[in-house]
């Protein structure tokens, strides 16, 4: 019978026994998900703990792919990606949902005819952004999935981080830190909108000057610098994962002027967007 202890022990096992993680595969969002497929707006992880599970998954070239996850196999699904499990054999799975404020974990036990039990657990993501950096590194390797040794280490590190958060939950932040985290999450979710310091300050019912002071105090960074950093990181991801025109990438990341986007991108990376994409796909840039 599954229980919360089983979930915590599973996290600890794969955090300490990296070689027990056999592979890490990636899903995408193409083609459009079929009926009954699972698709959410944030990253998630599916892992088989016992048995095996067949499923269809999306990818980035427009054809769905059938995969079989066996014990110790991990499927990483970036935001908007989809999968459709085929529940035809007994299996126990662990799912990790990566929310902005928390990790949501669940265990499912399928006995071949019905779900025998389901366990859910949530842990806050407040504190050091270790989990975000690990997830970003995993997504960076989507085009280099043959580097399984590194991917296994990253998956193990993520399980270790979540296990540590369960046993050592972060302290409740101060009001200013809580507001800073809320604004930061808002920017990360709405970076593609025409955001300004004034519009964001109005959204959170504070003055623009207070918002600037908040970013200086809690983040040691200027508001516009932080927003630009988020937009550029998203632009890098789109350039690496999709063959989208540079002008369209700029628009999707909140830059109305593609020439300005190219200038800022080159200032930060020493490469034009087109050069960055070409170098990444050739393996000459990380």
pLDDT band at 100 (very low <50, low <70, confident <90, very high): confident
In a domain, 286, yes or no: no
One domain for residues 11 and 152: yes
Residue 183's pLDDT is what?
Answer: 93
Residue 283's pLDDT is what?
Answer: 67
DSSP-derived 3-state class of residue 78: coil
Q: How many CA atoms lie within 13 A of 229 on its CB side?
A: 8
What total of structural domains would you count in the chain?
2
One domain for residues 107 and 230: no
Domain that holds residue 233: 175-281
Contact 82, 37 (CB under 8 A): yes
Last residue of a domain, one of 167, 188, 211: 167
pTM of the predicted model as reported, rounded to 2 decimal places: 0.66
Residue 211's contacts (CB-CB under 8 Å, 6 or more residues apart) are 183, 197, 200, 201, 204, 223
Contact 25, 45 (CB under 8 A): no
Last residue of a domain, one of 167, 195, 225: 167
Q: Is the pLDDT of residue 127 over 70?
A: no
One domain for residues 163 and 179: no
Residue 129's pLDDT is what?
Answer: 79
pLDDT band at 49 (very low <50, low <70, confident <90, very high): very high
pLDDT band at 125 (very low <50, low <70, confident <90, very high): confident
Query: Which tens digits make up the pLDDT trace of 128-146?
Result: 678 989 999 999 898 888 9
Query: Which tens digits make up the pLDDT trace of 176-185?
Result: 988 998 899 8
CATH code (residue 203): 1.10.10.60
Is 100 or 48 the better-scoring residue by pLDDT? Answer: 48
Question: In whole angstroms, what is the distance from residue 163 CA to residue 139 CA?
Answer: 21
Q: Residue range 116-128: average pLDDT?
A: 80
Last residue of a domain, one of 167, 195, 219: 167
Is 223 or 172 the better-scoring residue by pLDDT? Answer: 223
One domain for residues 147 and 274: no
Closest CA to 153 of 163, 168, 138: 138
Residue 128's pLDDT is what?
Answer: 63
One domain for residues 110 and 35: yes
Q: Is the pLDDT of residue 221 over 60?
A: yes
One domain for residues 51 and 69: yes
In a domain, 185, yes or no: yes
DSSP-derived 3-state class of residue 121: strand
């Amino acid at each position: 019978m599954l229980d919360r202890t089983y979930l915590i022990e599973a996290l600890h096992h794969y955090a300490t026994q990296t070689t027990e993680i056999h592979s890490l595969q990636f899903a995408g969002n193409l083609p459009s998900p079929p009926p009954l497929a699972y698709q959410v707006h944030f990253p998630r992880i599916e892992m088989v703990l016992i048995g095996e599970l067949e499923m269809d998954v999306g990818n980035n070239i427009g054809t769905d792919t059938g995969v079989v996850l066996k014990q110790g196999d991990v499927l990483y699904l970036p935001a908007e990606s989809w999968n459709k499990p085929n529940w035809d054999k007994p299996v126990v799975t662990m799912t990790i949902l990566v929310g902005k404020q928390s990790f949501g974990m669940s265990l499912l036990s399928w006995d071949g005819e019905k779900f025998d039990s389901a366990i859910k657990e949530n842990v806050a993501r407040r504190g050091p952004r270790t989990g975000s950096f690990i997830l970003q590194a995993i997504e960076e390797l989507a085009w280099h999935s043959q580097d399984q040794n590194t991917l296994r280490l990253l998956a193990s590190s993520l399980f270790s981080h979540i296990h540590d958060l369960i046993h050592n939950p972060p302290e409740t932040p101060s009001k200013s830190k809580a507001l800073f985290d809320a604004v930061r999450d808002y920017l990360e979710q709405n970076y593609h909108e025409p955001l300004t310091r004034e519009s964001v300050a109005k959204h959170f019912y504070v003055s623009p000057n207070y918002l600037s002071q908040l970013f200086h105090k809690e983040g040691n960074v200027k508001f516009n610098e932080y927003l630009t950093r988020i937009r550029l990181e998203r632009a890098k991801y789109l350039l690496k994962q999709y063959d989208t025109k540079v002008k369209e990438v700029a628009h999707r990341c909140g830059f109305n002027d593609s020439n300005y986007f190219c200038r800022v991108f080159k200032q930060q990376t020493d490469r034009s967007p087109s050069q960055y994409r070409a170098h990444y796909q050739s393996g000459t840039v990380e």
